[in-house]
Amino acid sequence: MSTLRTLGFHHITMVSRDARRTIDFYGRLLGLGLVKRTVNFDDPSAYHLYFGDETGRPGSILTFFEWRDAGQGRWGAGGVHHLALTVSTPEAQLKWKRRLTDAGVPVTGPLDRGYFKSLYFSDPDGQILEIATRGPGYDFDEPADALGAELVMPAEERLPTGRDEGEIAATTWPDPVPEVTADMRLDGIHHISAITDDLDANGAFYEEALGLRLVKKTVNQDDGKTRHFFWAHYEDGVVTPGSSMTLFDWSNTTVRARPGAGQTHHIAFRAKDAEEQVAWREHLVGMGLRVSDILDRSYFESIYFRAPDGLLVEIATDGPGFAIDEPVESLGQALKLPDWLEPSRDEVERALVPID
Ligand SMILES: [Fe+2]
Ligand SMILES: [Fe+2]
């Protein structure tokens, strides 16, 4: 067991075919802040957009590469199935259902998962999103100090055969929701759910490589035959918000995730600082993993490696953060480039489709 323990997610990076459309969806419709507009440091012809809370706190960050010619991605083993964002209450969640539905976005739910309630929809590129309530929490059906110890089967009324789909579909907020009100604020990543073809090997990887702990052993509540296990930063009976990595068990499947639009490119976990990042790298190399050098991403430092099922994983430092090259008040308004790309700014800007 690792002595290093990540506190949870730093960011998730997805693929967009149209940056302007992505800004409209995540910025205007979902109310997230655009905290940085820059380019992909490995491919400066592509925008790299960062959304998050006011300062782009680790755990609140959703990022997109704009690849206008990207083919359509598909989920499968070695890929992310969906990303869940946090909402404070079931009432606020219902307001989201009404706001999204009125905007023409098809929504499923709210479904009662026991430990939280879930609403599902897709972004314009096809990335599956969820809005999940903060609680009641994983100790809903097992003791807080012994989470993940036993297989816990969902109650019959939470499975497709036991729930009233008609009533769920009809449940929504009674009034239109033209503005994202304070109570509706999406407060960072709730969980990320991936599909794996080897639950045991990949679960062991998240425990050993990242120091996460098993907090729920159950089955997919939409498909009772599929094992669904949850890992998180879990200490002294407390699960840290924004740290839940869940895996669906697709043993022996031949369906592999296909990279592309509407798919997650990679997921990133938190390292405290540059010193801890060095320790993370040594730890991962010591496990026999192929790990990238420590790369300077301007706003954080990163290392990259792969889970056994192929999912690309990053560890990123909490600092220095997005205010390093522009004031907090105007984050995301101007195109920012790393120093080594500044001399070719004209060329870089000419290659990008304007988004204002
Ligand atoms: Fe989920
Ligand atoms: Fe990243």
User: Concatenated DSSP letters for 156-199?
Assistant: GGGSTTTS-HHHHHH---SS---S--GGG---SEEEEEEEES-H
In the chain, which stretches have pLDDT less than 50?
A: 1
* Contacts of 219 by beta carbon, 8 Å cutoff, 6+ apart: 153, 154, 225, 226, 227, 228
Cβ atoms within 10 A of the Cβ of 48, count?
A: 21
Instruction: Tell me how far the alpha carbon of residue 174 lies from the centroid of ligand 1, in angstroms.
Output: 25
Instruction: Tell me how far the alpha carbon of residue 297 lies from the centroid of ligand 2, in angstroms.
Output: 9
At residue 1, the pLDDT reads 44
Instruction: Tell me how far the alpha carbon of residue 283 lies from the centroid of ligand 1, in angstroms.
Output: 30
DSSP letter string, 31-78? --EEEEEEEETTEEEEEEEEEESTT--TTSEEEEEE-TTPPBPB--BT
Instruction: Tell me how far the alpha carbon of residue 172 lies from the centroid of ligand 1, in angstroms.
Output: 20
Q: Which whole-number Å values give the CA distances from 89 to 52, 187, 352, in the listed order?
A: 20, 11, 40
Look up residue 107 and give its two tokens.
């929504």
pTM (two decimals): 0.97
DSSP letter string, 280-335? HHHHHHHTT---PPPEE-SSSEEEEEE-TT--EEEEEES-S-GGGSS-GGGTTSSB
Instruction: Tell me how far the alpha carbon of residue 130 lies from the centroid of ligand 1, in angstroms.
Output: 6
At residue 62, the pLDDT reads 98
**Residue whose entry in the numeric block shows the structure tokens 């690849």:** 67
Instruction: Tell me how far the alpha carbon of residue 346 lies from the centroid of ligand 1, in angstroms.
Output: 42
Element (H, E) at 22: helix 19-22
Q: Is 276 helix (H, G, I), strand (E, B) or coil?
A: helix
Instruction: Tell me how far the alpha carbon of residue 233 lies from the centroid of ligand 1, in angstroms.
Output: 17
Instruction: Tell me how far the alpha carbon of residue 302 lies from the centroid of ligand 2, in angstroms.
Output: 7
Q: Considering every ligand atom shown, identify the ligand nearest to the alpha carbon of residue 42 and give its number.
A: 2
Question: Hey, which residues does 304 pair with through a beta bridge?
Answer: 314
Nearest to 141, CA basis, from 80, 86, 221: 221
Instruction: Tell me how far the alpha carbon of residue 101 lies from the centroid of ligand 1, in angstroms.
Output: 19
Strand 79-87, strand 234-235: pairing: unpaired
Question: Hey, which residues does 217 pair with through a beta bridge?
Answer: 151, 229
Instruction: Tell me how far the alpha carbon of residue 154 lies from the centroid of ligand 1, in angstroms.
Output: 15
Is residue 218 a contact partner of residue 154, using CB atoms and an 8 Å limit? yes
Nearest to 94, CA basis, from 60, 133, 126, 128: 133
Instruction: Tell me how far the alpha carbon of residue 87 lies from the centroid of ligand 1, in angstroms.
Output: 13
Domains defined for the chain, CATH in brackets: 9-330 (3.10.180.10)
At residue 108, the pLDDT reads 98
Instruction: Tell me how far the alpha carbon of residue 343 lies from the centroid of ligand 1, in angstroms.
Output: 44
